[in-house]
Structure 1
Amino acid sequence: MTRTGERAALVSAGLMVLSIAASSAMGSRSGLLVFSGLMPFQMLALIQSCVVYLRLRLERMAFEEARDLAGQAPTADSRLFDETSGGDLPLTLSRTRHQVEGIVPFIAPVLAILTATWAWTLYRDLVWTARESSFDLPAMALLAGQGFVLFLLHRYLLGLAGEPSLRWLRGPGVMTGVTAYGSVAAALACLAHHVGLVQADAWIGMTLVVLLVVHTVELVWNSLLSIYSPHRDTQKATSYETKLGAWLIHPSEWTKPLSESVDYQFGFSISRTWFARFLRRALLPFVGFQILVIYALSSMAIIGPNDVGIKERFGKPVQPDPLLMSGFHWKWPWPFEAVRRVPARMALLTHLGVDVDDTLLRPPQILWTVPHFPGEDLFVTASLSHKGSSAVPINLISLHLPLEFSITNALDYAYRYANPNQVLRDTAYRILTRELSSRDIGEWLSSHRTEIADIIHRELQAECDRLALGVKIDFIGLQGLHPPIQVADAFQSVVGALEEKEAAILEARAYTNRILPLATADATARVSLAEAYRDRRTKLSEAEVAQFHNRKRAADTAPDVYRARLAMEALHAGLIGNRLVLLATPSASSEVLWLNLEDDPFTSVFEMVPLEPEGINP
């Protein structure tokens, strides 16, 4: 046996010691959490390297001791006594190796206890929040170099583990690979921390702690398998190795159980064909890479312009500021963090009293005798007209109440109630039912609907504020109010009679409004005419009295002159407007005169020329 495996295990242990020392120094200097999360994996790789080194060394020394004793043993011809019943040779190193192999099955439980304690200590004592650090770039350089060196060591150990005699190197090789990949992830976290994403340090650190918990569960499972598995000897020898880590860093391991099952089903080694090797080496790793990329995409969240995102960590909002505005955001991958989207930047609409089907076309005019919507609720209203009678003082009515609201507090809306929309609808139904039962149906079918809608709006907003629902009521409308379809015809007849009654009342009021002003005007005119006649007769009487007194004074002063003047005035008054013809004929003449008293017809404008005076020549 060669010492290649021992040297490889010893080199692995030495590099792990240097890695632990460098990580401890940089972790205490920088304060980054990734170093605390990476330290348990480095210690596990160191412990496994030391165990494998001890096992390989004892196995080699026991083999050499057995070979040397076999070379010094006497031949059968030179023996004086037959020692066939004498027992085994006293090989000290072989006995020591067997004792060490008996201790190996207990390594997995001890490591499980150690890792569980370590994980709990890290989770309890460390503050997993974003922190500033000025050593992020040196830490990134250290982790990147450490990851590169450990990756080369990991590939070297796995290459040696391919030999059956060096199979035990697989454990430290896998754990070294896990540490290498963890170092690369930690280096990326330091880079993200440097560019401003300070949460990346806590994310990667917590991820490493979660992986440590998973490895603890695997160690416990391997310990149980080493006790109850049919292949107990093989399981005991490798119970501290991590198969999940091998699947994580070596995708070809995923196909090994499947290949064994296929070989068993077909009866020959189909997994060793070129096609199976191609699938295992090329296609399956590519598919695995795609799966990892798709899983990594769960770390991105895009919030639309109408939404507000709430970042959740293990189902609870991340404090102190869990709200995400529209845009692109980073988060932990699922299931560690998720984003709940709330439509807080758009108007939301719900319908009360009806079942709205947007696919159905509604006619522009709908009568009471046909359904307005596919499903309509019936509400109870008061009936003041039946007050004091034996009839039940209620009526039934159907209505459509569109309710528009917007979200003002996304946290209250998302977390106070399992179904906030249903809570809002139930609250609106309760307030609407209370208002309906306190008012007559005539108020709902009349012009009071706007006032009633305002009252419902105020009461619903106050109730939503009391319940801390996180919404603002923007609009409430009362539409499509009508009696039940079964009594719509009778109700429409009653409404028609009421309309005729109102029309007659309005017509009488119009007649009253038309006649009263006319009667008032006629009475006023008659009074005015009587007053004018009275004033005229009074003034005329006064004037006649004054005229009589004046004439009496004139007659007393000059009776003859007065009488002559009166005669002339009477003659003048009688001749006004009459044609007068004077004839100078003797009174006893018997001459007959023919007079043409007709007016001369108007023949031309020349007749309008004045006559020239006699005796004047032009």
Structure 2
Amino acid sequence: GLVADAFGQAGLLEDLTFAIGIGELAIAAEVVLNFVLALYRPRRAGEVPRPAFDSRVLSLVAAPDSIVRSINEAVNYQFGFDITSSWGYQLLLRSTAWLLGLGTAVLVVMSCVVVVPPGQQAVRLRGGAIVGDVYEATVMLKWPWPVETAAVHDVARIRTLVLGPRPMKVGAVNTWGDEAARDQDRFPYMVAAPNVSEQVRREAGSSGTDDAAAQSVAERFALVDADVVMSYRIAPGGLLSWLDFASEARFRRAGADVRERLVRDIALRELTQHLATQPMDDVLSPRGDSLVRSLRERIQGALDRAGSGVEVVAVQVPALRPPAGEGAGMFEEISIDRQNARKLREEADRLVRASMAAMAGTPERAAEIVAAIEAYERAERSSGESAPETLEARARAETLIMQSRGAAAGLIAAARARRWAIVMGAAGDAAQVLGQAPSYRAAPELYKQFRTMQVLGRALAAARAKYVLGPGVAGRTDLDVTMKQAESGLNLSDYLERKQPASGGSNP
């Protein structure tokens, strides 16, 4: 035991205790077997049993030369003649000592050379303590065993740890809402309560629960079921820290050593603390890789502070869901309602952008115009409508609107065009009236009759039936009316030459 402890091989003591126990059981089994067989052998009266002297195993240990004789007899029996007396066998017996010495020397020399392959690192151990530097992808020379030993570690290998009791079992049909009774060993993680409105909190608080403490916890925390897998490796230049971090001893009935269990406990602690500070909405619906990235950075920082020499390669979340049970279906409704609300917000935003683009060209220009109008209104309230700063603010707002080339600018331009059309029409009417004033002053009655006839001509042009009304003109006035029908198209009779009759003659 002292020798094994001096060379840092404390595990040999455990193997030695197991070997002693197994040897005692084997000797006891032989004694029992000899006792059973002695019942069927003839015995002499007064003979006393001697288990220790009758044991074959103990006799071989007490007289090892009998083993050599037994081997010689077995060899002679196999060959059919006395081969142990030949010169070759005798030469082998005489050379056994130096052959064993040569083999021992070769083994000692081979134990002084250790080849470290690429992707692995090795250190020298003397009495369990690390001696020298770290060797990587090279040939390492050391003192022979058991003075020094070599510890080779695969630093490039990616190791995985499941941060939880065991991975979730998902069948061909994933009915996770009914899986509450299947795996009772899984425990959900605690997260912060989701962000809900005050109205929802009041409705939830008025549900009639009597447990104030439970209600307080329910308002602050929620539960999620997740599988988190961490992938890690020994960091570049971190082998010495990894070896000093913890022991390589393995507990009985445990598949991981102390280092791996300690890394898992640190990572699980950081995972639990981080999830307890995150709202359920951010955990179940993270933005991109924000959740796994924050977990990896937090776990890496904790392992660095512990001096583990570990590099966290990735943190994966293959399964993340609300806890299974009766309320599982409600989370689907929440997700659907959240998607519908997001859809409504996006449609409203699209409508606003389209309206602003139509009114002001672009949403950015619309924001500038609104800011300019608000500045004009503030200046008008503070300084008055005719103040210079108010007029300047109004001019700036109008300039921005006209430069936008949108519907508002078009409406203002149309209003200005209509105003100018009205003004110019009124100016034309005024000029026409002023131009007819000399005619009126020269002959007022004639001017009135002329204007009356013009009005009647325009009014009667589209009338089908016309009546002439006047006061008692019978006996005093003769009316000669020529009725003509308007002909459409070209009337050739108007262009034909007509013959005039000769004077004093008759028509032909």
Query: What TM-score do the two structures reach when normalised by structure 2?
Result: 0.49
Q: Which of 1 and 2 has greater Rg?
A: 1
Query: What TM-score do the two structures reach when normalised by structure 1?
Result: 0.41
